[in-house]
Amino acid sequence: MSRRTATRALGVALLVTATAGSLSAPAFAVDNTSPNGAVLSAMQRDFGLSAEQAKQRVRQETDAAQVAARASADASYAGSWIESGKPVVAVSDPARADAVRATGAEVRVVRGSRAQLDGAKAELDRRTSSSPAEVGSWYVDEPTNSVVVTVTKGKRSAATESFVAEAAKTGQNVRVEETEGVAVATSDLVGGNAIYMGGGTAGRCSAGFAAKTSSGEPRLVTAGHCSKPGPVVALGNLGIGEFVNTNWKDGNDFAAVAVNPLTWTVQPLVNQWDGNNVTVKGSEEAPLGGTVCKSGSTTQWTCGTIRARNVTVKYGQADGSTVVVRGLTQYTACVEQGDSGGSNISGDQAQGLTSGARLKDVNGKLRCYANAEPGMNSVSWFQPINEALKEYSLTLVTG
């Protein structure tokens, strides 16, 4: 196979360019009335929408993102989301309701501002090392104006209550949700056409987004827990490069690979696993409740909705220890092992890198909720791409 042929066949493993074809901003920043057909098809499949309903949802999410951007500057801002297709903004000061309503949003007056809720969550973050084993994650839930602490079903204990009480001392609403499954960082790997670490012997992950340094050197950004010593290769043992930056076990989950420019050309593309690609135009953040689709080498192209931001998650490790990652975005796309590091995109706007998911054991195989029990919403997380780009002083490659 010629280098050109190999590059085209394996492009998704390196460049997020996919020509062969994981773990809820304007949805389409260019022409939101005529978005990419494959994106619409995935939305119809995963959300049970008609073609016209999918297009309408795209328009609604674009409008909601713009409303949220205007409203978030208010000191009493308590969050924003989409409800019944309309943008909703919460404020903690009733006197600010009219001003926020003027941005075009429906207004909800609540007890705590987003800053106050973040303060309550920060109390839990400070106690991460002493958090009970049954506690899996915690985050701010804007629609309920509360901090949510997730606990393994049937395991809620006095230790749980003590942990929750620390955040409740701030005066904010803190509630406990019991969940099934375990939070798993998704690079426990088994073969597939993605990227392979350690020269092909240290597991499989998925490519994230293409970026460049200030001097123009190409980089591949992916998940930090995928980082292993030695060369990163694509299917067929075609060398990509080596990890030069890694953030993992430090509260983050992102990394960068220095790409060999003699072998690869980075492209602003994301594989849709149907022979088509999405061209990345930027990295504007999608609204809460907005659609995000993820591309990964295990579950391929799946879509979901954003449920929460700045989520703290405890990932269980094989040795019984845990690794805590903060600042994740929670969403409902199906993600399974091997999808780690894959690209998450809303329309043509890059959102983040697949980090992990809550998975259930089905006959010895860990599956996302949607695959384990049809009709269930999956629980997955991605690391926002803009944080990684800022940390490494990289510029996203766009088209």
Q: pTM value?
A: 0.75
Find the mean pLDDT for residues 129-142.
91
Residue 5 has pLDDT above 80, yes or no: no
Confidence of residue 236 (pLDDT cuts 50, 70, 90): low
SS3 102: coil
In the predicted structure, residue 1 carries a pLDDT above the cut 50: no
Q: What is the DSSP string of 304-332?
A: EEEEEEEEEEEEE-TTS-EEEEEEEEEE-
Please name the amino acid found at residue 17: T
- pLDDT at 187 > cutoff 50: no
- Please give the C-alpha separations between residue 8 and each of 197, 267, 275, in angstroms, as whole numbers: 20, 11, 11
To the nearest 10°, report the CA torsion of 6, 8, 13, 17.
160
Per-residue pLDDT of 303-312, as tens digits, reads 999 999 999 9
Identify the DSSP state of 251. Answer: B
Question: What is the tens place of the pLDDT at every residue in 190-215?
Answer: 222 478 888 888 888 999 999 999 99
Residues 6+ apart with CB under 8 A from 1: 9, 236
What whole-number percentage of the chain has pLDDT above 70?
87
Question: CB neighbours of 257 closer than 8 A, spacing ≥ 6?
Answer: 219, 220, 221, 222, 232, 240, 241, 242, 243, 244
348 with 30: CB under 8 angstroms? yes
Mean pLDDT of 25-30: 24
Question: Is residue 33's pLDDT more than 60?
Answer: no
Kindly indicate the confidence band of residue 181, based on its pLDDT and cuts at 50, 70 and 90: confident
Query: Quick check: 26 pLDDT over 50?
Result: no
- pLDDT, averaged across the chain: 83
pLDDT at 192: 27
Q: Which of 28-42, 121-135, 162-176, 214-228 has the lowest mean pLDDT?
A: 28-42
pLDDT band per the 50, 70, 90 thresholds, residue 8: very low
Strands in 106-109's sheet, in edge-to-edge order, are 77-83, 86-91, 106-109
Structure confidence by residue, pLDDT tens digits, 343-387: 999 999 999 999 999 999 899 888 999 999 888 899 999 999 999
Amino acid occupying residue 191: G
Give CA–CA dist 125/108, Å, rounded. Answer: 28
pLDDT confidence bin for 2, thresholds 50/70/90:
very low
CB atoms within 10 A of CB 266: 21
DSSP 355: E
Residues assigned a catalytic role: 225, 253, 340
Residues 232/241, Cβ–Cβ less than 8 Å: yes
